[in-house]
Structure 1
Amino acid sequence: MYKLIVSDMDGTLLNSSGEISKENADAIKEAMKSGVEFAIVTGRPYVSAKSILKESGIKCSVIGCNGAQVADENGNIVKTHYINRDSLNAIIKRAEKANIYYHIYDDNYIYTKSRFDLLKVLKNYSKSAVSSQFSIRKIIRGIKRLYFTEVNVKRNLAAFAASKKGGFYKIQVSSTDKEALAKFKESIKGIPHVDITSSNYYNVEVGVEGVTKGTALKELADLKGIKREEIIAMGDNYNDMPMLVYAGCGVAMDNAVDEVKAACSFHTKSNDDHGAAYAIQKLIFDGEFHRE
């Protein structure tokens, strides 16, 4: 019997407009009413995830920044894993040298040099996520609404990162130039105390060594006394792999990358076709699939 459902946000629970559909929200609420717990596991920081959840009336635990941040259902941050400051500074130095876009995350903000540059990144995301149901303009509007309330502009971001008190959870580097991104990724491979992943073809996400969505899911499950075989995890991209492999039932969205589909025992509909709701219905209420 499954006791916990966890879901990624972008490309999984959220549609291409950056919204939780009514169908997905209703399915989650019904599962919670039946006694199944629900949690978000996302690359976004908690402050970004909570605003989306609030709009849908969902109150749950949130694992943010690819596992570096854990918040309980009341919004209390109960676990933090900050990236090594020397390692972060070294990564930023390489990004500056390569003249490639980056932003960094802490408890409250996404820090960027320019809102305009961030908007260009979000436009790139929308083009990769767009479906026939949603116009790019609507997607951009949704993403801007959800992100820009948590954005803090620092013109000299490298100096700010080096001097700021308090830690950072991760740095995201983005470019539509695949060759430049691959070259940058290669340049940071020797930097210690970090792990490198990706949530889309155009980005590289660098976080704390040994901290993933999978390790954070284990921490949350242990805290709740839930066994791994009692967990359903839903995702679509590379940074979801650790939690999908850890969970008793890994669910791949129809829009997931091939590696995710290969790792999961259950495949659902796309994020724009309410795939999360479909999986919850089949796995929780219809009982059509169980991994022993």
Structure 2
Amino acid sequence: MNYKLIALDLDGTLLNKNKTISAENIKWIHAAGKAGMKITLATGRPISDVTSIVEQLEIDCPLVINNGSEVWHAPGDLHSRRELSPHSVAKLFELLETNREELDFWAHTVGGRINRTNVPADVTTAQWLQFAIRSSDPEQLRTVRERIASWNMLEISNSHVTNMECNAPGVTKASGLLEVCSIIGIEMSQVIAIGDSLNDIPMIRAAGLGVAMGNAQEPVKQAADRIAPTNLEDGVAKVIEQVLLS
């Protein structure tokens, strides 16, 4: 297959335990670029977190940000944005208030990060891109997830087993990648998508080659076409090497 785009998750995939990119990963990402392939990032992080990575890897491709809530042509050049509804955010805050001792949260808005220290006086006035709830109790998190899912108002995933992440309905890394493919003129069948968490499953399933990291959550591995070594074993580099040399 003539793959033309590699979509990389960050935490648990491209980044190591020090939140940096290994020399081996950089080497093979640059090799992919020289071979005519484009590289993009598909992350739950906000655009402010990826600017330095875009520069380090010399990425010249649109980016999937906030789990697909935003697609950027490049940092500073927004292509599209899909926000959470004010009503759904208000319901999330009501749920948090009734479970204040058990649950924590963070969120990304157009204006920046939100946590318990800087919640707007009127939460319906902010432009919410992503909302995450965190708990160290798996059963508590499962119960909360089921309750939120029953509203049929949000796309639910996670970036770690201790959290759940909410986006607008239909917003996933796959929907963001479809926009990227449209911009650069390729098909999803020409994409390699690599990730490790539940928020990566949609793009792994939709891509021509879906790859789960060796450290991925089990449902991600089940959804993937291939299992790579872990993020501590330069799994991204190994996948690119295999594709380029096959």
**Which TM-score band (shorter chain)?**
over 0.9
Answer yes or no: is 1:190 the counterpart of 2:150.
Answer: yes
Task: From 208, 216, 220, give the equivalent of 1:248.
Answer: 208
| Equivalent position SS for 2:74 | coil
Corresponding residue of 1:124: none
Answer yes or no: is 1:268 the counterpart of 2:241.
Answer: no
Between the two proteins, what is the percent identity of the paired residues? 31
Q: Deviations over 1:15-37 (max 9, x none)?
A: 11111112112211221122111
Written as runs of structure 1 = structure 2, the 5 A alignment for 1:195-206 is 195-206=155-166
**Normalising by the residue count of structure 2, what TM-score does the alignment of the two structures yield?**
0.92
Q: Does the aligned pair in 2 maintain the 1:87–1:192 contact within 8 Å?
A: no
Q: Does the aligned pair in 2 maintain the 1:41–1:66 contact within 8 Å?
A: yes
Task: From 109, 112, 115, give the equivalent of 2:112.
Answer: 109
Corresponding residue of 1:47: 48
Q: Deviations over 1:75-109 (max 9, x none)?
A: 41101000011111111111121112111102342
Structure 2 Cα separation of the partners of residues 72 and 163 of structure 1? 27
Structure 1 Cα separation of the partners of residues 40 and 152 of structure 2? 31
One-letter amino acid of the counterpart of residue 94, structure 1: L
Question: Which consecutive unaligned segments of at least 5 residues does structure 1 have?
Answer: 115-153, 288-292
| Equivalent position SS for 1:232 | strand
- How far 1:161 moved relative to its partner? 2.2
- How far 1:245 moved relative to its partner? 0.6
| Equivalent position SS for 1:71 | strand
Written as runs of structure 1 = structure 2, the 5 A alignment for 1:40-79 is 40-73=41-74, 75-79=76-80
Structure 2 Cα separation of the partners of residues 8 and 216 of structure 1? 13
Answer yes or no: is 1:286 the counterpart of 2:236.
Answer: no
Q: Deviations over 1:203-249 (max 9, x none)?
A: 01111001111111111112211112211110111110000010000
One-letter amino acid of the counterpart of residue 88, structure 1: V
Structure 1 Cα separation of the partners of residues 57 and 186 of structure 2? 26
Q: Deviations over 1:122-145 (max 9, x none)?
A: xxxxxxxxxxxxxxxxxxxxxxxx
Written as runs of structure 1 = structure 2, the 5 A alignment for 1:82-93 is 82-93=83-94
Q: Does the aligned pair in 2 maintain the 1:45–1:107 contact within 8 Å?
A: no
One-letter amino acid of the counterpart of residue 245, structure 2: D
More helix by share: 1
Corresponding residue of 1:14: 15
**Normalising by the residue count of structure 1, what TM-score does the alignment of the two structures yield?**
0.79
CA spacing shift, 1:63–1:95, aligned 2, 3 Å: same
| Equivalent position SS for 2:128 | coil
CA spacing shift, 1:46–1:193, aligned 2, 3 Å: same
Written as runs of structure 1 = structure 2, the 5 A alignment for 1:107-186 is 107-114=110-117, 154=118, 157=119, 159-164=121-126, 167-186=127-146
Matched pairs, number: 243
Structure 1 Cα separation of the partners of residues 207 and 24 of structure 2? 24
Question: Which consecutive unaligned segments of at least 5 residues does structure 2 have?
Answer: none
Q: Does the aligned pair in 1 maintain the 2:38–2:60 contact within 8 Å?
A: no
Corresponding residue of 2:97: 96
Corresponding residue of 1:117: none
Structure 2 Cα separation of the partners of residues 32 and 75 of structure 1? 23
